[in-house]
Amino acid sequence: MAFTTLADGGSVWVNRRWVEYTGLSVDSTSGSGWQSAVHPDDLDGHVNKWQVSMASGEPFENEARHRSANGEYRWFLVRAVPLRDESGQIRKWYGTLTDIEDRKQAEKERERLRQLEADLAYMNREMTMGELAASLGHEVKQPITAAVMQARACTRWLSRETPDVAEACVAASAMVEAVTRAAKILDRVRSLYRRGPPLLEPVQLNETVREMTVLLSETANRGSISLRTALDPGLPATTADRVLLQQVLMNLMINGIEPMRGTGGELTVTSKRNDDGQLLISVTDSGAGLPDDSERIFEAFFTTKPQGTGMGLSISRRIVESHGGRLWASRNTGRGATFQFVLPPA
């Protein structure tokens, strides 16, 4: 649709397409008559921006819903530019309205899918809380026990006939360090289970690997499984939601640990840049390997575990793909399987 106005916004002319769509005649549209076609929720912002453009002479651009003759609202991108005379004074404004309803609906659907993905990831994190309970209890208990011992030592040094302040300060410092470590552990786990929209920020994948290795160390130890890492110290950051990537790595590591419980084994996490310059994370186990229909493991609700939900790998792949990456699995030459994902550098 197209329109022109005088410099003050009055005496509006509109083309036939406007008349056919809105049902408003040229006369009905003139002055402020065109505002009756704009959705009430968009009207104030749309009018204010238009008035700012007329006052400043800057080109106008805004998105607003416009009502059709049958009462249906559709999104339009409205643009207008000024026509100036030789002295630079604005004589007229020329504008267009472009239907962007399909684009807006697609954006709405993408946002709905992003929220669904975040909700599914949150549900999956809740389901895996039991896996971390023992590890968390063990990890927090160690620094707390150390803090208690240092507190007792500090009391003994200060209770002597001649208080040894220097030794008491050493014990107090060690106590602060131990309690601080316990607090950091709790913060790390709490961040895993926060709920909210994706928050994109620079993420160091090596740091994420180290965090998950610490969190899952006790789970691995109870199954006689050794955790190893081989990380490229020069690996650059990626741009991602930190918590969602923690979730992916936790899913892959737990998926590798579970088949080796009772029999022991080794889980290795490596990081490097591949030939395409992308960031590659590999999680390799020495367990039973992949089923014959290995690609199905990424399908929702498909699982080979008696107590599995079949959601972890499906959600992990969706998270990686939503960050512009790819996740896949392959059989090892010997025992076990390797799960790998790539992400673009920041």
The answer to whether position 257 is within a domain reads: yes
Tell me, yes or no, whether 30 and 151 share the same domain: no
- Does 93 lie in the same domain as 120? no
In order, the DSSP letters of 1-49 are -EEEEETTS-S-EE-HHHHHHH---HHHHTTTGGGGGB-HHHHHHHHHH
Mark whether 231 and 167 lie in a shared domain: yes
Give the separation between CA 21 and CA 74, rounded to whole angstroms.
10
Residue 33 lies in a domain: yes
Q: Are residues 94 and 202 in the same domain?
A: no
Same domain, 89 and 137: no
What pLDDT digit, counting tens, does each position of 274-330 carry?
A: 999 999 999 999 887 776 666 666 665 545 554 444 567 777 888 888 889 999 988
Got the DSSP string for 277-298?
Answer: S-EEEEEEE-SS---SSGGGGG
Q: Which residue has 């006369």 as its token pair?
A: 27
**240 φ/ψ angles, rounded to the nearest 5 degrees:** -165, 175
Domain count, the chain: 2
The overall pTM is greater than 0.95: no
Which range of residues forms the domain containing residue 60? 2-99
Which tens digits make up the pLDDT trace of 170-209? 889 988 887 887 777 666 555 555 555 567 899 999 999 9
Residue 8 burial (C-beta neighbours within 10 Å; 0-12, 13-18, 19+): exposed
* Distance (Å, whole) CA 69 – CA 18: 10
Q: Which of 68, 99, 130 is the endpoint of a domain?
A: 99
Q: For residue 217, is pLDDT > 90?
A: no
Contact indicator for 11, 27 with CB cutoff of 8 Å: no
Say if residues 212 and 253 touch (Cβ distance below 8 Å): yes
83 torsion bin: left (phi>0), alpha (psi -120 to 50), beta (else)? beta
Q: Which of 50, 71, 99 is the C-terminal boundary of a domain?
A: 99
Q: How confident is the model at residue 332 (pLDDT cuts 50, 70, 90)?
A: confident
Tens digits of residue pLDDT in 232-283: 999 999 999 887 888 789 889 988 888 887 788 899 999 999 999 999 999 9
